[in-house]
Amino acid sequence: MTEFPIPRAALLDGNALAATIRSELRDDVADFTRRYGRPPGLRVVLVGEHPASASYVSGKTQDARAVGLDAATVALPETTSEAELLALLDTLNRDDAVDGVLVQLPLPPHIRTERIVEAIAPEKDVDGFHPENVGRAFTDTGGLLPCTPAGILELLERADVATRGLHAVVVGRSLIVGKPMASLLSSPRYNCTVTLTHRHTRDLAAFTRAADLLVVAVGQPGLITADMVKDGAVVIDVGINRVDDPSRERGYKLVGDVAFDDVAAKARLITPVPGGVGPMTRAMLLRNTVQAARARAAEP
Protein backbone atom coordinates (compact mmCIF):
# COMPACT_ATOMS: atom_id res chain seq x y z
CA MET A 1 0.00 0.00 0.00
CA THR A 2 1.27 3.43 -0.89
CA GLU A 3 1.46 5.82 1.96
CA PHE A 4 0.82 9.43 1.11
CA PRO A 5 2.64 11.85 3.33
CA ILE A 6 0.33 14.14 5.27
CA PRO A 7 1.11 17.69 4.21
CA ARG A 8 2.45 19.46 7.24
CA ALA A 9 3.23 23.06 7.90
CA ALA A 10 6.78 24.19 8.43
CA LEU A 11 7.40 25.41 11.95
CA LEU A 12 8.08 29.05 12.67
CA ASP A 13 10.68 28.27 15.31
CA GLY A 14 10.65 31.10 17.84
CA ASN A 15 13.23 29.45 20.09
CA ALA A 16 15.79 29.29 17.29
CA LEU A 17 15.14 32.81 16.01
CA ALA A 18 15.14 34.29 19.52
CA ALA A 19 18.55 32.67 20.10
CA THR A 20 19.86 34.26 16.89
CA ILE A 21 18.49 37.66 17.92
CA ARG A 22 20.01 37.36 21.39
CA SER A 23 23.38 36.63 19.87
CA GLU A 24 23.06 39.67 17.57
CA LEU A 25 22.06 41.77 20.59
CA ARG A 26 25.09 40.57 22.53
CA ASP A 27 27.26 42.32 19.92
CA ASP A 28 25.09 45.45 19.99
CA VAL A 29 25.28 45.58 23.79
CA ALA A 30 29.08 45.15 23.71
CA ASP A 31 29.32 48.03 21.16
CA PHE A 32 27.13 50.27 23.29
CA THR A 33 29.13 49.45 26.42
CA ARG A 34 32.44 50.25 24.70
CA ARG A 35 31.12 53.47 23.33
CA TYR A 36 29.36 54.85 26.41
CA GLY A 37 31.30 53.21 29.22
CA ARG A 38 28.26 51.44 30.66
CA PRO A 39 25.86 48.71 29.51
CA PRO A 40 22.22 49.53 28.74
CA GLY A 41 20.20 49.26 31.98
CA LEU A 42 16.86 47.53 32.54
CA ARG A 43 14.75 47.50 35.72
CA VAL A 44 11.88 45.05 36.04
CA VAL A 45 9.42 45.94 38.80
CA LEU A 46 7.37 43.21 40.46
CA VAL A 47 4.68 44.05 43.01
CA GLY A 48 3.36 41.16 45.12
CA GLU A 49 3.76 37.42 44.98
CA HIS A 50 1.81 36.36 41.85
CA PRO A 51 3.66 33.06 41.12
CA ALA A 52 3.48 33.18 37.30
CA SER A 53 4.60 36.83 37.35
CA ALA A 54 7.57 36.02 39.58
CA SER A 55 8.75 33.37 37.14
CA TYR A 56 8.23 35.65 34.07
CA VAL A 57 10.17 38.42 35.78
CA SER A 58 13.11 36.24 36.71
CA GLY A 59 13.18 34.92 33.11
CA LYS A 60 13.28 38.47 31.74
CA THR A 61 16.09 39.55 34.08
CA GLN A 62 18.14 36.42 33.34
CA ASP A 63 17.72 36.82 29.56
CA ALA A 64 18.80 40.44 29.86
CA ARG A 65 21.92 39.62 31.86
CA ALA A 66 22.84 36.88 29.41
CA VAL A 67 23.16 39.46 26.60
CA GLY A 68 25.21 41.78 28.80
CA LEU A 69 22.56 44.25 29.96
CA ASP A 70 22.71 45.70 33.46
CA ALA A 71 19.42 44.17 34.56
CA ALA A 72 17.80 43.91 37.97
CA THR A 73 14.43 43.06 39.45
CA VAL A 74 12.92 45.44 41.97
CA ALA A 75 10.55 43.33 44.09
CA LEU A 76 8.01 45.18 46.21
CA PRO A 77 5.47 43.76 48.69
CA GLU A 78 1.81 43.25 47.76
CA THR A 79 0.92 46.05 50.21
CA THR A 80 2.91 48.68 48.27
CA SER A 81 0.73 51.76 47.73
CA GLU A 82 0.18 53.44 44.39
CA ALA A 83 2.04 56.50 45.70
CA GLU A 84 5.05 54.37 46.67
CA LEU A 85 5.16 52.73 43.26
CA LEU A 86 4.88 56.14 41.56
CA ALA A 87 7.78 57.38 43.70
CA LEU A 88 9.92 54.41 42.62
CA LEU A 89 9.09 55.07 38.95
CA ASP A 90 10.06 58.71 39.38
CA THR A 91 13.46 57.60 40.72
CA LEU A 92 13.96 55.14 37.83
CA ASN A 93 12.83 57.75 35.28
CA ARG A 94 15.52 60.12 36.57
CA ASP A 95 18.29 57.52 36.80
CA ASP A 96 20.62 58.04 33.83
CA ALA A 97 21.96 54.49 34.04
CA VAL A 98 18.44 53.07 33.55
CA ASP A 99 17.27 52.90 29.92
CA GLY A 100 14.31 50.55 30.25
CA VAL A 101 11.62 50.24 32.93
CA LEU A 102 9.01 47.50 32.96
CA VAL A 103 6.29 47.06 35.57
CA GLN A 104 5.04 43.48 35.49
CA LEU A 105 1.25 43.16 35.14
CA PRO A 106 -1.19 42.37 36.64
CA LEU A 107 -0.80 44.77 39.55
CA PRO A 108 -2.66 44.30 42.86
CA PRO A 109 -6.23 45.63 42.61
CA HIS A 110 -5.61 48.68 44.82
CA ILE A 111 -3.18 50.10 42.23
CA ARG A 112 -4.56 51.72 39.07
CA THR A 113 -2.71 50.11 36.16
CA GLU A 114 -3.23 52.97 33.71
CA ARG A 115 -1.89 55.47 36.24
CA ILE A 116 1.30 53.40 36.56
CA VAL A 117 1.74 52.74 32.85
CA GLU A 118 1.42 56.46 32.17
CA ALA A 119 4.01 57.29 34.84
CA ILE A 120 6.82 55.43 33.05
CA ALA A 121 8.89 57.83 30.92
CA PRO A 122 7.86 57.02 27.31
CA GLU A 123 11.50 56.82 26.21
CA LYS A 124 12.09 54.10 28.86
CA ASP A 125 8.81 52.23 28.28
CA VAL A 126 10.29 49.01 26.87
CA ASP A 127 6.88 47.28 27.02
CA GLY A 128 5.51 49.85 24.56
CA PHE A 129 2.36 50.26 26.69
CA HIS A 130 2.51 54.03 27.38
CA PRO A 131 -0.15 55.94 25.40
CA GLU A 132 2.62 57.91 23.66
CA ASN A 133 4.19 54.71 22.32
CA VAL A 134 0.76 53.25 21.48
CA GLY A 135 0.07 56.43 19.49
CA ARG A 136 3.46 56.31 17.79
CA ALA A 137 2.87 52.71 16.68
CA PHE A 138 -0.55 53.72 15.37
CA THR A 139 0.79 56.73 13.48
CA ASP A 140 4.01 55.04 12.25
CA THR A 141 6.19 57.62 13.97
CA GLY A 142 8.78 55.43 15.70
CA GLY A 143 8.79 54.86 19.45
CA LEU A 144 9.00 51.55 21.27
CA LEU A 145 6.75 48.79 19.89
CA PRO A 146 4.92 46.36 22.15
CA CYS A 147 7.01 43.19 22.38
CA THR A 148 4.56 40.52 21.21
CA PRO A 149 3.49 42.22 17.96
CA ALA A 150 7.13 43.18 17.31
CA GLY A 151 8.20 39.56 17.86
CA ILE A 152 5.53 38.24 15.46
CA LEU A 153 6.57 40.72 12.75
CA GLU A 154 10.22 39.72 13.19
CA LEU A 155 9.27 36.04 12.88
CA LEU A 156 7.36 36.74 9.65
CA GLU A 157 10.11 38.93 8.18
CA ARG A 158 12.90 36.48 8.88
CA ALA A 159 10.83 33.61 7.41
CA ASP A 160 10.45 35.75 4.26
CA VAL A 161 6.66 35.80 4.46
CA ALA A 162 5.59 38.29 1.78
CA THR A 163 2.79 40.07 3.63
CA ARG A 164 1.77 42.61 0.97
CA GLY A 165 -1.86 42.17 -0.04
CA LEU A 166 -2.51 39.26 2.33
CA HIS A 167 -5.77 39.13 4.21
CA ALA A 168 -4.67 39.07 7.85
CA VAL A 169 -7.29 38.10 10.41
CA VAL A 170 -6.48 38.93 14.04
CA VAL A 171 -8.53 37.16 16.71
CA GLY A 172 -8.55 39.10 20.00
CA ARG A 173 -8.53 42.85 20.48
CA SER A 174 -6.28 43.30 23.52
CA LEU A 175 -4.30 46.50 23.92
CA ILE A 176 -1.11 44.45 24.19
CA VAL A 177 -1.48 42.18 21.15
CA GLY A 178 -4.61 42.30 18.98
CA LYS A 179 -5.09 46.03 18.45
CA PRO A 180 -1.43 46.94 17.82
CA MET A 181 -1.02 43.83 15.64
CA ALA A 182 -3.95 44.87 13.44
CA SER A 183 -2.59 48.39 13.16
CA LEU A 184 0.98 47.32 12.33
CA LEU A 185 -0.05 44.72 9.75
CA SER A 186 -2.11 47.33 7.91
CA SER A 187 0.80 49.82 7.89
CA PRO A 188 2.78 50.55 4.70
CA ARG A 189 5.58 48.30 5.88
CA TYR A 190 3.38 45.16 5.80
CA ASN A 191 0.45 46.18 3.58
CA CYS A 192 -2.02 43.54 4.77
CA THR A 193 -5.77 43.90 4.55
CA VAL A 194 -6.76 43.39 8.17
CA THR A 195 -9.88 42.11 9.89
CA LEU A 196 -9.90 42.46 13.68
CA THR A 197 -12.25 39.98 15.35
CA HIS A 198 -13.16 39.40 19.00
CA ARG A 199 -15.49 37.58 21.37
CA HIS A 200 -18.61 39.26 19.94
CA THR A 201 -17.77 38.50 16.31
CA ARG A 202 -20.60 36.54 14.71
CA ASP A 203 -19.52 33.44 12.76
CA LEU A 204 -15.83 33.71 13.65
CA ALA A 205 -15.06 30.72 11.40
CA ALA A 206 -16.25 32.59 8.30
CA PHE A 207 -13.56 35.18 8.99
CA THR A 208 -10.75 32.85 10.01
CA ARG A 209 -11.35 30.66 6.93
CA ALA A 210 -10.74 33.73 4.76
CA ALA A 211 -7.37 34.44 6.40
CA ASP A 212 -4.07 34.12 4.55
CA LEU A 213 -2.40 35.14 7.79
CA LEU A 214 -4.18 34.23 11.02
CA VAL A 215 -3.02 35.70 14.35
CA VAL A 216 -4.81 34.29 17.39
CA ALA A 217 -4.46 35.96 20.79
CA VAL A 218 -7.42 35.02 22.95
CA GLY A 219 -6.36 32.61 25.72
CA GLN A 220 -8.76 29.77 24.92
CA PRO A 221 -7.23 26.35 24.26
CA GLY A 222 -8.39 24.68 21.04
CA LEU A 223 -10.39 27.71 19.86
CA ILE A 224 -9.09 27.42 16.29
CA THR A 225 -9.77 24.03 14.72
CA ALA A 226 -8.66 22.77 11.30
CA ASP A 227 -12.05 23.49 9.67
CA MET A 228 -11.55 27.17 10.56
CA VAL A 229 -8.27 27.49 8.65
CA LYS A 230 -7.62 28.01 4.94
CA ASP A 231 -5.28 25.56 3.17
CA GLY A 232 -1.81 27.05 3.04
CA ALA A 233 -2.43 29.78 5.63
CA VAL A 234 0.25 31.18 7.93
CA VAL A 235 -0.92 30.65 11.52
CA ILE A 236 0.47 32.57 14.50
CA ASP A 237 -0.66 31.27 17.89
CA VAL A 238 -0.14 33.79 20.71
CA GLY A 239 -2.12 31.85 23.34
CA ILE A 240 -0.31 30.29 26.30
CA ASN A 241 -2.74 28.15 28.28
CA ARG A 242 -2.12 25.69 31.09
CA VAL A 243 -4.19 22.52 30.67
CA ASP A 244 -4.18 19.59 33.12
CA ASP A 245 -1.85 16.77 32.19
CA PRO A 246 -1.49 14.14 34.93
CA SER A 247 1.24 12.39 32.89
CA ARG A 248 3.59 15.29 33.63
CA GLU A 249 5.30 15.83 36.92
CA ARG A 250 4.12 19.43 37.17
CA GLY A 251 0.53 18.33 36.41
CA TYR A 252 -0.11 20.54 33.38
CA LYS A 253 1.11 21.27 29.87
CA LEU A 254 1.18 24.49 27.86
CA VAL A 255 -0.98 24.75 24.76
CA GLY A 256 -1.95 27.62 22.49
CA ASP A 257 -5.33 28.74 21.17
CA VAL A 258 -4.88 26.65 18.01
CA ALA A 259 -5.51 22.87 17.81
CA PHE A 260 -1.92 22.43 16.70
CA ASP A 261 -1.75 18.91 15.20
CA ASP A 262 -4.86 19.27 13.02
CA VAL A 263 -4.15 22.81 11.92
CA ALA A 264 -0.49 21.98 11.15
CA ALA A 265 -1.74 19.49 8.55
CA LYS A 266 -3.40 22.35 6.66
CA ALA A 267 -1.29 25.44 7.24
CA ARG A 268 1.86 26.45 5.35
CA LEU A 269 3.63 27.88 8.38
CA ILE A 270 2.67 27.65 12.04
CA THR A 271 4.11 28.70 15.41
CA PRO A 272 4.26 26.00 18.11
CA VAL A 273 3.34 26.57 21.77
CA PRO A 274 5.64 26.59 23.61
CA GLY A 275 8.56 27.73 21.46
CA GLY A 276 6.85 30.07 19.01
CA VAL A 277 5.76 33.60 19.88
CA GLY A 278 6.74 33.47 23.59
CA PRO A 279 10.53 33.46 23.15
CA MET A 280 10.22 36.16 20.49
CA THR A 281 8.31 38.41 22.90
CA ARG A 282 11.12 38.00 25.41
CA ALA A 283 13.79 38.74 22.82
CA MET A 284 11.99 41.93 21.74
CA LEU A 285 12.12 43.26 25.31
CA LEU A 286 15.92 43.05 25.09
CA ARG A 287 15.91 44.69 21.66
CA ASN A 288 13.67 47.49 22.95
CA THR A 289 16.07 48.08 25.83
CA VAL A 290 19.00 48.45 23.43
CA GLN A 291 16.89 50.72 21.19
CA ALA A 292 15.92 52.87 24.19
CA ALA A 293 19.54 53.08 25.36
CA ARG A 294 20.75 54.17 21.92
CA ALA A 295 18.01 56.77 21.56
CA ARG A 296 18.75 58.19 25.02
CA ALA A 297 22.51 58.23 24.38
CA ALA A 298 21.96 60.07 21.09
CA GLU A 299 19.62 62.62 22.72
CA PRO A 300 20.57 62.91 26.38
Binding piece for ligand GUN, criterion CB under 6 A, among 34-42, 101-109, 228-236, 246-254: 101-109
- Cβ at position 120, least distance to ligand GUN in Å: 10
Which of positions 115-134 make contact with ligand GUN (CB under 6 A)?
127
Among 28, 104, 230, 291, the active-site one is: 104
Binding piece for ligand GUN, criterion CB under 6 A, among 33-41, 98-106, 134-142, 257-265: 98-106
> Is residue 47 a contact residue for ligand GUN (CB under 6 A)?
no
What burial letters (b/e) apply to 84-109, b meaning 16+ CB within 10 Å?
Answer: ebeebbeebeeeeebbbbbbbeebbe
User: Nearest-CA neighbor of 29 among 68, 71, 72, 70?
Assistant: 68
Among 85, 103, 166, 168, binds ligand GUN (CB under 6 A): 103
Nearer to ligand GUN, 88 or 103 (CB): 103
β-bridge mates for residue 76, sequence order: 47
Beta strand 213-216 with 241-244: parallel, antiparallel or unpaired?
A: unpaired
238 and 224 Cβ atoms separated by less than 8 Å: no
Residue with the shortest CB distance to ligand GUN: 105
> Is residue 284 a contact residue for ligand GUN (CB under 6 A)?
no
| Known active-site residue 60 | yes
β-bridge mates for residue 255, sequence order: 241
> Is residue 144 a contact residue for ligand GUN (CB under 6 A)?
no
- Cβ at position 105, least distance to ligand GUN in Å: 4
> Is residue 85 a contact residue for ligand GUN (CB under 6 A)?
no
> Is residue 104 a contact residue for ligand GUN (CB under 6 A)?
yes
3-state helix, strand, coil in the chain (%, to 5): 40, 15, 40
Among 72, 74, 105, 159, binds ligand GUN (CB under 6 A): 105
- Between CA 119 and CA 100 the distance in angstroms is 13
| Known active-site residue 291 | no
Among 60, 124, 230, 266, the active-site one is: 60
- Between CA 72 and CA 62 the distance in angstroms is 9
Beta-carbon contacts of residue 189 (< 8 Å; ≥ 6 apart): 140
Among 99, 125, 127, 212, the active-site one is: 127
Residues that bind ligand GUN (rule: CB under 6 A) add up to a total of 6
- Between CA 206 and CA 192 the distance in angstroms is 18
> Is residue 99 a contact residue for ligand GUN (CB under 6 A)?
no
6 and 258 Cβ atoms separated by less than 8 Å: no
| Known active-site residue 266 | no
Amino acid at 276: G
> Is residue 70 a contact residue for ligand GUN (CB under 6 A)?
no
Q: Which residues are identified as catalytic?
A: 60, 104, 127
Q: Where along the sequence are the contacts to ligand GUN (CB under 6 A)?
A: 102-105, 127, 147
